[in-house]
Amino acid sequence: MPDAALEPGERTAIVRDSLAVGLATGAYGFGFGAVSVASGLSIAQTCVLSLLMFTGASQFALVGVVAAGGAPVSGAATALLLGTRNTLYGLRMAPLLRWRGWRRAAAAHVLIDESTAMAVGRDTTEGARLGFLTTGVSVFVLWNLATAVGALAGEAVGDPRTFGLDAAVGAAFLALLWPRLRDRRNILVAVLAAAVALSVVPITAAGVPVLAAGGVALLVGVLGRRQDPTEVPGPGDVAGSHR
């Protein structure tokens, strides 16, 4: 990737687009905060999850397993399974950003769908770094602020069943999944995974059905992957994605 300096107008456009993505994505943290508290976690536990884990799908998975009465180990395994894609993003981003040492370690914490997508299509290293950092840091800050507000609001509500929040985890996963159902393969994977999960619910502990469903997706990905596994959506596709 060339090292040519960015033009002022190009820099402004990258920052503008990246902040817009950060604002739109960070707002989802409010939902996680409310769902997490409704699932039985404390406000402190909820906020620490967002600070340290910082990957929305995995966070929702963890609190979903806990809410269903599953063991923390099952919740952690489910969250880890969903977070493996970030490793593939790292393989793609390392040669683009070209950071070393502590900078690479710090960047890994904000390596999410949105920051990767806003960096991978740039023509220069400086542009990739600017898009990556602006998006990643803005999402991180807003996600954590929104998580705290959502957790406080969720605690104020009281019994989650009063307002239907006991179903919020399932609704959150459906919201994350829906934008992905754009072709037959994804629809087929979703149907098969749901069928497997439902079939093992009566005979397994809470959390295991989610792992089984995830195993279906991994198996399909290994057997029928049609593109580079490190490929991520371009900036124009970010609106339909979430970490």
pLDDT tens digits, one per residue of 112-162 = 888 888 888 788 888 899 999 999 999 999 999 999 998 998 777 655 555
Mean pLDDT of the chain: 78
In terms of Cβ atoms closer than 10 Å to its own Cβ (0-12, 13-18, 19+), residue 3 is: exposed
19-23, 54-58, 123-127, 205-209: the lowest-pLDDT one: 205-209
Burial letters for 133-170: b for 16+ Cβ neighbours within 10 Å, e otherwise? bbbbbbbbebbbbbbbebbeebeeeeebeeeebeebbe
Using the structure block, give the residue that is written with the tokens 């629809």: 187
Confidence category of residue 171, pLDDT binned at 50, 70, 90: low
CA distance linking residue 168 with residue 40, whole number of Å: 13
Which pLDDT value is given to residue 31?
82
CB-CB contact of 197 with 215 (8 Å):
no
Confidence category of residue 236, pLDDT binned at 50, 70, 90: very low
Has residue 97 got a pLDDT over 60? yes
Q: How far is CA 93 from CA 105, 192, 195, in A?
A: 13, 32, 35
Phi, psi of 78 (to 5 degrees): -65, -45
Which pLDDT value is given to residue 108?
92
Q: Which two tokens stand for residue 131?
A: 């898009």
Contacts 24+ apart (CB under 8 A), 156-164: 157/34, 157/38, 160/38, 160/39
CA distance linking residue 168 with residue 32, whole number of Å: 9
Average pLDDT estimate for 56-67: 82
Which pLDDT value is given to residue 50?
94
Which pLDDT value is given to residue 137?
94
Q: Which two tokens stand for residue 190?
A: 């979703």
Instruction: Give 117's contacts (C-beta < 8 A, 6+ positions apart).
Output: 232, 233, 234, 235, 237, 238, 241
Reported as a single tens digit per residue, the pLDDT across 25-59 is 887 888 889 888 888 889 999 999 999 999 887 88
Average pLDDT estimate for 93-99: 90
Q: Which two tokens stand for residue 22?
A: 């950060």
CA distance linking residue 16 with residue 23, whole number of Å: 11
CA distance linking residue 196 with residue 68, whole number of Å: 18
183-187, 218-222, 230-234: the lowest-pLDDT one: 230-234
Quote the DSSP letter at residue 110: T
The amino acid sitting at 197 is A
Which pLDDT value is given to residue 8?
73
Helix then strand then coil, in percent of the chain rounded to 5, is 80, 0, 20
